[in-house]
Amino acid sequence: MTTRSLLVASLPTGPQDPLGETPPRRPGSVRRTTAIDQRRGARGEPQALVASGRDLLTRADATTELLDEVSVRATVDTTGLLTAIESDPPEPGLAALVGVHASRGFRQRVDEALPDHRAAATILHQLLDDVPMAVLISGYGLTRELGDDWELPLSEADRLADLCAGWQRGATMLGALEATGIFPIPIGPVAPDLTSDDDPRGWHDLGPMVARSVRRRRRLDLVGGEPLALDVHFRDSHLGADGVEDVLHEYTLTAAVDPVSLTVRSSEAAVRVLPWPECPGALGSASRIVGERVGDLRRLVAADFKGTSTCTHLNDVLRSVAGVTALAVPLR
């Protein structure tokens, strides 16, 4: 074992209980599934971004209707700039994103280029909204492969301190860095397969992961009624050069939504997998969306959900609840 892996093995972890199955689709519901893969080439080479999603209506008689389906391919160069992007079906507005940094200011540029997609909370908008974090966590694989040859500069750690629950000053991760000079890079539990032979349409075709890539996948189930019932599953995973897929972050969330105003009546998150014991301290932030309209959540979370009472990845779960705007339409 390397010095870093020995350190990681000595540290306490957060929850390590990934979801082992996907619940069956319920009659009178809409399921949105999305996935975005960040595929990293050799050092110094561009990265490929491959994303896809589907909205599927399951009627009361269990028959189904495909409501929307989108795929996206893009290239991100070594400086973080988006150098190419295309979608199926084609979207001309994507051309405005070429040359934009895939992290800094990207979401704002998406909203400016595709305002109708933002307003309608389409699959395409969700996939593009996930690009900055997909790019950020794509570096995880590189740090794993470099092992003891990679370090996080102390100045960078200080800049990120108190960003979220897991990055608290003096907590497990930064405490270990301060004590040893080694930045701990966690390895999560093996990722269970979420597809089911009993429900072959439970997920759209994601395609196989490729080695040295990170995948962010989501499932949103919205069930009609009074109130609308929302069930969300979110997972980030990494497939290493050894062919083993491990889970980095995983949450579930349940919420009740007013069917007329689309205001959140209740919201509760649960942790399945997080790297550090301090990370679940952010769970209470999920209740802060109660009383808000789903269409306002992306703006609200970006503006107000900051600091050690929050989690960057839970924030992205809460942002995705905006998708109810689209999913509720066929249930009315």
Average pLDDT, the chain: 93
Give the pair of three-digit tokens for residue 137: 């966590």
Kindly state whether residue 163 falls inside one of the protein's structural domains.
Answer: no
Nearest to 219 by CA among 93, 74, 317: 317
Contact assessment for residue 69 and residue 53, using Cβ atoms and an 8 Å cutoff: yes
pLDDT at 143: 76
Q: How many helices (H) and strands (E) does the chain have?
A: 11, 8
Amino acid at the residue 86: E
Q: Around 44, how many Cα atoms within 13 Å sit in the side-chain half-sphere? A: 0
Length of the chain: 332
pLDDT at 158: 83
Say if residue 5's pLDDT is above 90: no
Q: Around 144, how many Cα atoms within 13 Å sit in the side-chain half-sphere? A: 22
Residue 1's pLDDT band (cuts 50, 70, 90)? low
Residue located via tokens 């609840």: 321
Kindly state whether residue 37 falls inside one of the protein's structural domains.
Answer: yes
* Percentage of the chain exceeding pLDDT 70: 98
pLDDT at 144: 75
Kindly state whether residue 177 falls inside one of the protein's structural domains.
Answer: no
Contact assessment for residue 35 and residue 51, using Cβ atoms and an 8 Å cutoff: yes
Q: What is the mean pLDDT of residues 55-69?
A: 97
Rounded alpha-carbon distances, angstroms, from residue 47 to 16, 50, 74, 76, 209 = 29, 10, 8, 5, 14
pTM value is 0.95
Give the number of other CB atoms < 10 A from CB of residue 281: 20
For CA atoms 209, 210, 212, 213, give the dihedral sign. negative
Kindly state whether residue 264 falls inside one of the protein's structural domains.
Answer: yes
Say if residue 305's pLDDT is above 80: yes
pLDDT in tens, 208-217: 999 889 999 9
Kindly state whether residue 160 falls inside one of the protein's structural domains.
Answer: no
pLDDT in tens, 228-277: 999 999 999 999 888 999 999 999 999 999 999 999 999 999 999 999 99
pLDDT at 148: 66
Nearest to 19 by CA among 186, 189, 138, 137: 189
pLDDT at 157: 77
Contact assessment for residue 54 and residue 127, using Cβ atoms and an 8 Å cutoff: no
Domain assignment of residue 201, given as a range: 9-141+186-331
Question: In three state form, how does the secondary structure of 72-122 look?
Answer: EEEEECCCCEEEEEEEECCCHHHHHHCCCECCCCHHHHHHHHCHHHHHHCC
Kindly state whether residue 149 falls inside one of the protein's structural domains.
Answer: no
Kindly state whether residue 260 falls inside one of the protein's structural domains.
Answer: yes
pLDDT at 242: 85
Contact assessment for residue 235 and residue 249, using Cβ atoms and an 8 Å cutoff: yes
How many structural domains comprise the chain?
1
pLDDT at 229: 98
Say if residue 184's pLDDT is above 70: yes
pLDDT at 190: 97
Kindly state whether residue 155 falls inside one of the protein's structural domains.
Answer: no
pLDDT in tens, 125-182: 999 999 999 988 887 777 777 766 777 777 777 888 999 999 999 999 999 988 988 8
* CB-neighbour burial class of residue 93 (10 A; exposed 0-12, middle 13-18, buried 19+): middle
pLDDT at 13: 95
